[in-house]
Structure 1
Amino acid sequence: MIAAIKDIIKNSNHIAVLTGAGVSTASGIPDFRSSEGLWTAERSREELMSSAFFHENPEEFWHYYKSIFKLKLLQNYGPNQVHRFLNELEYGRERVDIVTQNVDGLHTAAGNGNVIEYHGTLKTASCPVCGTTFSLEKVIEETIPYCSCGNILKPDVVLFGDMIRFHEEAENLVKKADLTLVLGTSLSVMPFNMLPMVATGTKILINNYPTDKDYMFDYCIHDDLSEVIEKLKA
């Protein structure tokens, strides 16, 4: 199967890549859903990381947000072999588009030119009133980050209850691609998990365990993502 997939990738001119937390784990970044010691029976992660909770109690929200995402450590992470492989795919092709659920910014750091951060980014925060955007450094420095206009900043990740801004754009990309390559995601989060359904080209899934959406794909590999990528590069 590896040989067949290598041949498909080699002959694909426009590749759409959908990525999830499994792409970043090799960089040492855990899936925030697996965070321990931060959830209680009274408050689920969905509540704590919701737009409603931010607007109701922004000070408390920022306490949980910084703990969950460990923002101070974010600057210590870098792209891994999966990110670099996707960057190398761009050479000599018409187009490679990355649509990622990850909010760590590592696809852009690896040099990919066309990246849609489907769930936003940890790298910045913006004022919900005047719209001014600030860097991660300011967010880290201040316990509760404020805008110069006096309002508390809102992180630029998509919180529970927020609208997904780029779904239609992502759909258009997978519809046009010769190949849709899905890496390191369980495809359990809507509406991201609906993107493979509208893809018209060959569809390949590589994840470390089966998903409920395996039936959508022409090829599925259930194995360690980094190890599979090394085989595809060989």
Structure 2
Amino acid sequence: MKRILVLTGAGISAESGIKTFRDADGLWEGHDVMDVASPFGWENNKELVLDFYNQRRRQLLNVKPNKAHYALKELEKKFEVQIVTQNIDDLHERAGSKNVIHLHGELLKARSTFDENLVMDWKQDINVGDFCEHNFQLRPHVVWFGEAVPMFQTAAEIAEKADIVIIIGTSMQVYPAAGLLDFAPPSAPVYFVDPKPNINPKGKLEIIEKTAVQGVPYLVTKLLKDK
């Protein structure tokens, strides 16, 4: 069974109604990125950071997977599919995808500031004073700017074994995620689904200049038909 690596970014979730955070002026919901998504911001104003992610979490609980998410699930009928997402939502899982790696963490989880391996499911707000079992403050289980991306090595190993690569809704400008393509075998065809593609043509690249909701079902139908 051929292996497919699917790399997804904010574009696939945006069509479910999730805001992509970063505005044209570089701000995230009116905040400087470093104020709400960095260790510095956390130490400087925990309430602001928690409120930012609390709002994101509430929104996530009120949206649903879209046709692109569900189409990717269909690929599992004839392929071994591994999704590596830069998104912190759970829409891939809700659509039924079985193998999902979150490079940048998960919004519906919290973790201890004492032990980063102490992670728990968390669907409500995180407030100042919410402690782990060791009496240390909880924080969002999200990778902030300046922090290591612990799942990158796992994702790179998956990329090395991929027979096909699909990229959806990501600018391929954010590292280290953008570097994953370099680990894929040169022989692996790459499908890039984005309404405004910005990628350097190389190897076996096919650009599908459509939104995720339009382009992913089209591509999935094509791959299943050709199988």
Equivalents in 1 of 2:128, 2:203: separation in Å?
44
Structure 1 contact 22–183 (Cα < 8 Å) conserved: yes
Task: After TM superposition, give the deviation of residue 14 of structure 1 in Å.
Answer: 0.8
Q: What code does the residue aligned with 2:16 have?
A: S
Q: Does 1:38 align with 2:23?
A: no
Find runs of 4+ consecutive structure 1 residues off by over 6 angstroms.
Answer: none
Q: Does 1:82 align with 2:68?
A: yes
Q: What code does the residue aligned with 2:86 have?
A: Q
From 85, 99, 103, the equivalent of 1:100 is: 85
In the alignment, what sits opposite 1:6? none
Task: After TM superposition, give the deviation of residue 75 of structure 1 in Å.
Answer: 0.9
User: Aligned with 2:213: secondary structure?
Assistant: helix
Q: What code does the residue aligned with 1:25 have?
A: A
Task: After TM superposition, give the deviation of residue 216 of structure 1 in Å.
Answer: 5.8
1:136-194 Cα shifts (integer Å, max 9, x gaps): 33x42x53351144322111011111100111111111111110111111111011111
Structure 1 contact 16–179 (Cα < 8 Å) conserved: yes
The TM-score normalised by the length of structure 2 is 0.85
- List gaps (5 residues or longer) in structure 2: 223-227
From 39, 46, 53, the equivalent of 1:65 is: 53
1:103-136 Cα shifts (integer Å, max 9, x gaps): 0011112121111101110011111114543333
In the alignment, what sits opposite 2:9? 20
Equivalent runs, 1:22-171 vs 2, <5 Å: 22-34=11-23, 38-39=30-31, 44-67=32-55, 69=56, 71-93=57-79, 95-130=80-115, 131-137=117-123, 139-140=124-125, 142-144=126-128, 146-147=130-131, 148-171=133-156
Equivalents in 1 of 2:8, 2:203: separation in Å?
16
Aligned CA distance change for structure 1 residues 188 and 32 (closer, same or farther; 3 Å):
same
Aligned CA distance change for structure 1 residues 133 and 189 (closer, same or farther; 3 Å):
same
1:64-97 Cα shifts (integer Å, max 9, x gaps): 3334x2x21211122111111111101133x110
Aligned CA distance change for structure 1 residues 66 and 214 (closer, same or farther; 3 Å):
farther
The TM-score normalised by the length of structure 1 is 0.82
Equivalents in 2 of 1:113, 1:170: separation in Å?
15
Equivalents in 2 of 1:29, 1:23: separation in Å?
9
Structure 1 contact 196–216 (Cα < 8 Å) conserved: no
Greater share of residues in helix: 1
In the alignment, what sits opposite 2:225? none
How many percent of aligned residue pairs carry the same amino acid?
A: 30
Equivalents in 2 of 1:160, 1:145: separation in Å?
24
Aligned CA distance change for structure 1 residues 123 and 204 (closer, same or farther; 3 Å):
same
Aligned CA distance change for structure 1 residues 20 and 214 (closer, same or farther; 3 Å):
farther
Structure 1 contact 197–216 (Cα < 8 Å) conserved: no
User: Aligned with 1:16: secondary structure?
Assistant: strand
Equivalents in 2 of 1:207, 1:152: separation in Å?
39
Q: Does 1:229 align with 2:216?
A: yes
Q: Does 1:198 align with 2:183?
A: yes
From 168, 183, 195, the equivalent of 1:183 is: 168
Task: After TM superposition, give the deviation of residue 210 of structure 1 in Å.
Answer: 2.0
Task: After TM superposition, give the deviation of residue 18 of structure 1 in Å.
Answer: 0.4
Structure 1 contact 19–98 (Cα < 8 Å) conserved: yes
